[in-house]
Structure 1
Amino acid sequence: MTEHCDRPRSARANVIVVMYNSESTLPALFDGMVANRAGIASVTLVDNASADESAETARKLLAESGLRGRVLRAANTGFAGGHWEARDSFDDPTLPTLCLNPDVQLDADALLDMIEVLQGLGEEAGIVTSTLVSTEGIEDSASRRRLPTVTTGALYSILGKLVPSKFRYNQIESTAGGELVAGHAITRVEATTGALMLVAPQLQNVEEGIFDRDYFMYGEDLQLCLRAQRSNRAVAIVERRPSIHVKGVSSGFPRSWKSNRAFHDAMYIYYRKNLSISPIDRALVWSAVWARLLISSSVAATARARAKRAR
């Protein structure tokens, strides 16, 4: 792999990290950012009213890292809202923005590879991500998704994981990364995850920020990918050594009621904004989503109770 000193110093991006009770994952986050310092112009960490020491820990680690940046405190208006809080925090807003979850540890030089691909896409530049896996080495299925259609969106909203995998919009696409852009193998997908998302300046709305704030903590990444598609801009994965994504820190595992509610709200919001054709289908999908929410919340509560008894 090319060393940092061989990369053009103009290849930089701003980084936004939105935190919520993220203290435990911040050391690994900063390890990853330090390993990518050559690609980072500035970092803004937004603390969404955490109950732990996320903001204080972030300030300490930021000072130790030598990275240029700041920590902002904000009311918890969600993932999209946190990114909106950071909208005016960068000296050069014309740079691409890396939306980075606090529970992601970037592999060394992953950001520079992503920037090179984004630049190599030219007028197609939209969103670039990189291979992302769990701590067990399992690829994050949200990295490679199709955008929901009326059929797949409605089916998944109603039946969830009971839907056969070939009919799920969030099923991993099987196409291999055969296309070369700026010397990197890439796979084009319809949608990817907001946990690791390099966004071209052309997709950043000055008034509203990067993500649609009608969403709280799910769905905004799909909405942005749809905006990229409608703008004839690419969504691509750089096929390279993976970065690590530790899921469930902010949302809980199983999901807390608040997180689960936001997840199901996002299903309906996306359907209403992009797929609905009449008030009747909206009412049916809304009812089905709420029924699914109640069932999944009951299952999650039972799982948490069992885990608590097992301790």
Structure 2
Amino acid sequence: MIYENNTLKRILVDGGYIEDGRYYFYVQDHLGNNRMVVDQEGEIAQITHYYPFGMSFAESTNASKQPYKYNGKELDTENNLNTYDYEARLLSVAVPRFTTIDPHAENYYSWSPYVYCYNNPLKYIDPDGKDVKPIGEEALEMIQNTLSKDDMKYVQFDKNMLIDKELINSHKSESGNFGALLELVNSDILIEVSLGDEFSYMDNEGNIQDRKMSYQEADPEFADTSDNVTLNGTTTGEAGFMGVALLPGKGISGQNSPDKSIKIIMNKNLSLPARAEMYSHEANGHALMYVRTRNRTESGHKFEGSRDVNKPLVKMILDSKKETIKNMQGR
């Protein structure tokens, strides 16, 4: 309940609020921004359009109707400072930067402790000013496609468009892929999953580098089958640089996470089956092994000639890919 001058002003409810005996509802976009407020009769009470970092367009209407706007956060206009309340910190949309340092700054040493969403608010959200998670229906769909129809019902976004921990932990399953996802979700390491055709990483000298992700269209001649699943192949015959798991610390590959989080980037050009299969490789193989061991060597491939002798990792990857293929073919 919101009081002003000792008088009840507004009652906040899920998805909107009550004011003067009338219900008002938020209409949000995919980033959780309140784009419109409509009343119980469907009449528009407020329209707000945003620049990427949260500043409102001049064309917005009835701006003072209610203050919950960008990312659903409250806009504080006192003293004309125009800051959004992100619980842990205040965001100044004019700069745009947080007004205080990140309480988790030690986890992101390659970024300014005042920066908002890695300077990419079109790709990321920051629900409380602390941790950043990737968003996007395509990334969620990719994860769901590794699971059975029953298990995938329990993998959904919460109101902040993060994987709903309460929902996924409410479900019991014998599935290896569901168990792997549950372990990743409950890990104390931040894990980001995204789709793209390039990525940034930190090399072993501490420099930030960029790399493009190549793509080769499907060729049935080189396709895996359900009876012959390989580490780096797909049942579609697609190939190229299909995905990567950037892990904290330094590894033989020289491609490391720029902070203490795990970043899983999958090639956005892949088909839905290939995305799911290769996500199984990166997330349920490399990322999960690192979560369990905190060891870069054990989390990576170890080749003797053309043979990978890291048998525990190979088994994790192949088991996960086989389950994903079975689940996708059973759709």
Higher relative CO (Cα under 8 Å, sequence separation at least 6) belongs to 1
Q: Normalized against structure 2, the TM-score is what?
A: 0.31
- Structure with higher Rg: it is 2
Question: Quick check: which one's strand share is greater?
Answer: 2
